[in-house]
Amino acid sequence: MMIGNALLLALREIRRNLLRAGLTTLGIIIGVGAVIAMVTLGNGASASVTGSIESLGRNLVILQPGTRRGLGGGGAAASAPSFSLEDADAIKREIANLRAVAPIAMRGETVVAGNINHPTQVMGTDNSYFAVRAWDMVQGRDFTDAEVRGGRTVCIIGQTVKAKLFGSQNPLGTNIRVRDAPCEVVGVLDVKGQSTFGQDQDDIVAMPIRAMQRRITGNTSVGMVWIAANEAEDVPKVIGDLTKLMRERRHLSNAAPEDFQANDMAQITQVMQQTTAILTLFLAAIAAISLLVGGIGIMNIMLVSVTERTREIGIRLAIGARERDVLTQFLVEAVMMSAFGGLIGIALGLGASAVGTHFLNIQFVPSPGIVFIAFVFSAAIGVAFGYFPARRAARLDPIESLRHE
């Protein structure tokens, strides 16, 4: 029998039992839908993370302390020493092709204006930081050279801090208290929104780093240094030079591993993508289990169907169907149901992830590859789980089957 006829017979049978076919297919629909939704959402999250990290700039290099092994091989990772302003100066002085170098020290503190307290992030830095982040001032000004050099306690505040402490009032010229240091507000930053990691970037108070060190942290540490190269092409050389310079300054012997990290955005992006990829894979694997369950559902229903349709099979055998005709018919039926289910699942999965990405505020990145794989896989499930019932149908004895009530 030609495959076209098998398709015709299977289609007629499915049409006659539309409700049962629909229920049978439900498992596949949910399984495929879940896989598609997981992968699409995962891709979307990954793309959004990548996008927001890269929006920081491809020419950005971030210098952070690494970890070093504690003595005695106990395995406890201890934080390596942080940096100093001298390190930042040395970088500025000795590394070519740099546009900006921003030393940063951060600490969580409560800031007070009048009788309002607000816990926030206090950042010590200089104007380079705003330049590197392309972060504009909407009110007031940035730090003057004198303020930066002299470590004057003046602040630039983010939109969230402004809203909490001042509401709609003009904060410029007002003194806020950071820890026990009175600090004059000289500027207000533009809205930046949430970071990739869900932090409110506008919940920030910035002051010159020397003021931060003297009045807030009480030490001379620089937690990290953000460095902007002139061009993205300069980044590899900058990282090379930076690594060499820092090894020298931290007196690392040739054999010693680095106790700091100099990463560009590509590397950070890569790490983030690996993380989301693993997460996506994990979720998709869970979803794939429901596909398997869907396949078993199809086998179950097909077996019931074979028993229920024993007489019909007898009729078909009597009027000249060969074993392979019956086998093909039942197999095609199973594959058709699972493939239909796959198509519906793909549509539902894409629909759900379109809605999901909208609400999660991430990019909608449908992957044609995974759609194709999901379709082929759902059809393959039809073959795998339809074969056993189909073979059972094909092997029925026509005489017995015709007697079956």
Partner 1 sequence: MSIQIGAKPSKMAAGGPDQPALQRRSSVELIRFIEVSKIYGTGEAEVVALDRVNFSVRAGEFVAVLGPSGSGKSTAMNILGCLDTPSSGHYLFRGVDVGTLTRDQRALIRRNHIGFVFQGFNLLKRTSAIENLELPLIYRGMPKAERRAAATRALALVGLSDRASHTASELSGGQQQRVAIARALVTAPSVIFADEPTGNLDSARGHEIMNLLRALNAEHGMTIVVVTHDEEIAAYAGRRIHFLDGRIASDEAFA
Q: What residues make contact with partner 1 under the rule CB under 8 A?
A: 1-2, 5, 8-9, 12, 16, 311-312, 314-325, 398-399, 402
First and final CA of the chain: distance in angstroms? 27
Residue with Cβ nearer partner 1 (34 or 326): 326
Whichever of 38 and 394 has its CB closer to partner 1, that residue is 394
Q: How far is CA 220 from CA 81, 86, 87, 216, in A?
A: 12, 10, 11, 11
Q: Considering only CA atoms, which of 212, 67, 65 is closest in space to residue 129?
A: 212
214-217: long-range contacts (C-beta < 8 A, 24 or more apart)?
214/151, 215/153, 215/178, 215/179, 215/180, 215/181, 216/107, 216/109, 216/122, 216/124, 216/178, 216/179, 216/181, 217/105, 217/107, 217/124
Residue 200, SS3? strand
CB of 41 to partner 1, least distance (A): 42
Cβ 274 to partner 1 shortest distance, Å: 55
Q: Hunting for tokens 């002051």 — which residue is that?
A: 207
Question: Tokens 């009729």 — which residue?
Answer: 315
Alpha carbon distance 313, 293 (integer Å): 27
The three-class DSSP label of residue 133 is coil
* Min dist. Cβ of residue 324 to partner 1 (A): 7
For 315, the token pair is 């009729």
Strand-pairing partners, residue 67, are: 79
Nearest of 383, 191, 394, 187 to residue 306 by alpha carbon: 394
On whether the CB atoms of residues 199 and 228 are closer than 8 A, the answer is: no
- Does residue 249 contact residue 90 with C-beta atoms inside 8 Å? yes
Residue 388 DSSP SS3 = helix
Residue 86 or 308: the one with the smaller Cβ distance to partner 1 is 308
CA distances from 213 to 110, 265, 307, 385 (A): 16, 28, 82, 69
> Do 331 and 383 meet the contact criterion of CB atoms below 8 Å apart?
yes
